[in-house]
Amino acid sequence: MTKGAYFSEEHLMLRDQVRRFVTEEVLPYGDQWEVDGVTPRSVIKKMGELGFLGIQYDPEYGGAGLDVLASAIYAEELGKSSYGGFAITALVHTDMASPHLANAGTEDQKAKYMPDIIAGNIVTAVAVTEPDAGSDVAGIKTRATQDGDYWVLNGTKMFITNGVHADLYFVAAKTDLQAKGSRGITIFIIEKGTEGFTVGRSLNKMGWRSSDTAELVFDNVRIHKDNILGEVNRGFYAIMQNFQNERTVLGAQALGECQKALEITLQYVKDRKAFGKTLWDKEAIRQRLSMRQAEVAAGQQLLYHAAWMDAQGIECVKEVSMVKAYCGELVNKVMYDCQQFHGGFGYMREAAIERMVRDARVQSIGGGATEVMLEEIAKRS
């Protein structure tokens, strides 16, 4: 990729570094991680050593001090790995969970945790979603009541990526039970091993098989007031703030997956023969794949522009919502066609495209369902 309108030399170097890492450290081992149901901690540690876990973070803690465009590049290249479970394991740590600490933590909290987060010694998770509250963050029921210098937390969280193997959790709870809607939510920092905090169960998913996803249970968990993250009763706004970053990288991951699927499929249809000619010689096939390439290229421009706006401090909720909605739907459309043109082979577990189809399905659900994103766009139209 050329420098273009949006990228610096640092951006291009990062892309090359992440691409090399994926080739050398992910592709040879990803199939086994799918069987194991988890991406090894050693891989996260290696990513920390290479500087991938602190792209936007302060150099004071070991970060690179880059912008959201750099995170988009990073996520896009992880998506191209074709192992969505590996990609989301890393992205939750770097762009969905730990940003809460980086954005709202006290100096003491950041000094305590950020260096190990960036180094890959600590893996993080964010626990907002509940059995009855997903995109509707204001509807959470987990509660925390004050008891002197402590808060006592009770409730259940669901569909938490990295939930089984994380070391540090950022947990949202209702702290003002009389407050309505989005008010009265606070985020707490909770370490694994805290009394009363358990992993209820590891969840068995359709896709993203190389990531762990869990139900978390909090039974009278006592949390010292020093472990409050940000302001009491203002957690909803902190969650909303980071949604822009989260939705940008999810869109980037989806676009990386699109590019990889098209690459695999183009090679397949140019090699595969039917009725005396290659599949590429069939007009309907090559035109459909060409249209998908055009749509992916359009998605990239939308992504990069929204990320650029964010990096410039320009209001971009509408644009980021477009990225998430468009890319989440596009990746499923691309996968449908790519699997279709693989024929029966595309339905076999040995085919990369079969795994990628399963992994892609959640992209229009997680991190803000398409319908929710469209309402965010409509509010600003």
Whole-number pLDDT of residue 180: 76
For position 2, what pLDDT does the model report? 56
For residue 133, pLDDT over 70 is answered with no
pLDDT of residue 132: 76
User: Distance between CA atoms of 42 and 381, rounded to whole angstroms?
Assistant: 46
pLDDT band at 139 (very low <50, low <70, confident <90, very high): confident
> pLDDT, tens digit, for every residue of 13-50?
999 999 999 999 999 999 999 999 999 999 999 999 99
Of the candidate CATH numbers 3.40.50.300, 1.20.1250.20, 1.10.3720.10, 1.10.540.10, the domain formed by 9-123 belongs to 1.10.540.10
For the stretch 190-223, pLDDT in tens is: 999 999 999 999 999 999 999 999 999 999 999 9
Percent of the chain whose predicted confidence (pLDDT) is above 70: 97
Which tokens sit at 248? 């940008």
The CATH superfamily holding the domain 125-233 is Butyryl-CoA Dehydrogenase, subunit A, domain 2 (2.40.110.10)
pLDDT at 247 over 80: yes
CB atoms within 10 A of CB 381: 7
- What is the distance of C-alpha 171 from the center of its chain? 17
Confidence of residue 140 (pLDDT cuts 50, 70, 90): confident
Element (H, E) at 278: strand 277-278
Residue 168 CA to residue 125 CA, distance in Å, equals 6
**What's the pLDDT score for residue 236?**
85
Residue 201: what are its φ and ψ, rounded to 5°? -165, 155
Strand partners, 213: 161
What integer pLDDT is reported at residue 243 of this predicted model? 87
pTM for the complete prediction? 0.94
Rounded to an integer, the average pLDDT of 61-87 is 97
Q: How far apart are CA 79 and CA 253, in angstroms?
A: 4
d(CA 331, CA 360): 6
Query: Rounded CA gap, 13 and 301, in Å?
Result: 20
So what's the pLDDT on residue 142? 94
Q: How much is the mean pLDDT over the chain? A: 95
Amino acid (one-letter) located at 53: L
The domain limits of the chain are 9-123, 125-233, 236-379
Catalytic pick from 77, 130, 246, 376? 246
Mean pLDDT of 95-117: 97
Q: What is the mean pLDDT of residues 58-65?
A: 96
Residue 147 has pLDDT above 70, yes or no: yes
48-59: b (≥16 Cβ within 10 Å) or e: beebbbbbbbee
Domains 125-233 and 236-379 alike in fold: no
According to the model, what pLDDT value does residue 329 have? 98
Mean pLDDT across 250-271:
97
Give the span between the Cα atoms of 339 and 26, in whole angstroms. Answer: 23
Average pLDDT over residues 48-53: 98
Distance of CA 102 to the CA centre of its chain: 17
pLDDT band (50, 70, 90) for residue 242:
confident
The pLDDT, as a whole number, for residue 136 is 64
Q: What would the pLDDT profile of 154-179 be if each residue is shown by its tens digit?
A: 999 999 999 999 999 999 999 998 88
* pLDDT-above-90 percentage for the chain: 89
Give the position of tokens 């009763």: 233
Superfamily of domain 236-379: Butyryl-CoA Dehydrogenase, subunit A, domain 3 (1.20.140.10)
Q: How confident is the model at residue 274 (pLDDT cuts 50, 70, 90)?
A: confident
- Name the nearest CA neighbour of 57 among 15, 93, 24: 93
Identify whether 246 is a catalytic site residue: yes
